[in-house]
Amino acid sequence: MTPTCTSEDIQRIINKLKKSGYKLTPQRQAIVDTILDSVGKHLTVEEIFDIVKKKRPEIGLATVYRTVVLMHEENLITRLDLKDGTARYELTREDEHHTHHHLVCIKCSQVLEFMDDLLDPIEEEIGKKYNFKVLDHSLKFYGICNECAKEETFKEETEYDKREG
């Protein structure tokens, strides 16, 4: 299931920025639109900049950085660190009880989302055992995606054929 952006998401962002005293300038609007159009893609600031630059060439990288930092501070986007030294960002969804989870390919860096919350029983156990109220958690699985696995199988078969032939 590919997540989509709703009109409620758009209105929530506009209202939150206005409530915090920020104007939705044309530059910010272009950056917000890019993030909303990229739901589920986990973009870096540089990738956001590359997309924004095509529509609004006058926008600089520093403006994109400042807007991303602002949106993160306002809890409009979530920062995702995947052990590769690059922060990625995605829309914070209010309809999620917990942050959704991620499958990360160690070959191509593809990030897949899954919404199943398999940790509810563990959270309950932690709460009882440690008298601790879990508010959120983050879960990432690192492995090899289907496409990379197919490539690996193809390479292995090709190498085998060369040795046998």
Predicted confidence (pLDDT) per residue in 62-85, tens digit? 999 999 999 999 988 889 887 778
Reading across the β-sheet that carries 111-114, which strands appear in turn?
111-114, 101-105, 140-143
148 labeled part of a ligand binding site: yes
Residue 1 in any domain: the answer is no
105 labeled part of a ligand binding site: yes
Residue 51 in any domain: the answer is yes
How far apart CA 57 and CA 49 sit, in angstroms, is 10
Helix, strand, coil % in the chain, rounded to nearest 5: 50, 15, 40
Residue with the bigger pLDDT between 64 and 142: it is 64
Q: Residue 109 sits in a domain of what CATH number?
A: 1.10.10.10
Residue 89 in any domain: the answer is yes
Which of the residue ranges 36-45, 121-130, 153-162 has the most confident prediction, judged by mean pLDDT?
121-130
Residue 145 in any domain: the answer is yes
Domain count for the chain, please give it.
1
Provide the residue range defining the domain that includes 33. 7-162
Tokens 């709703």 correspond to what residue? Answer: 6
5 labeled part of a ligand binding site: no
Residue 133 in any domain: the answer is yes
91 residue type, one letter: L
Residue 138 in any domain: the answer is yes
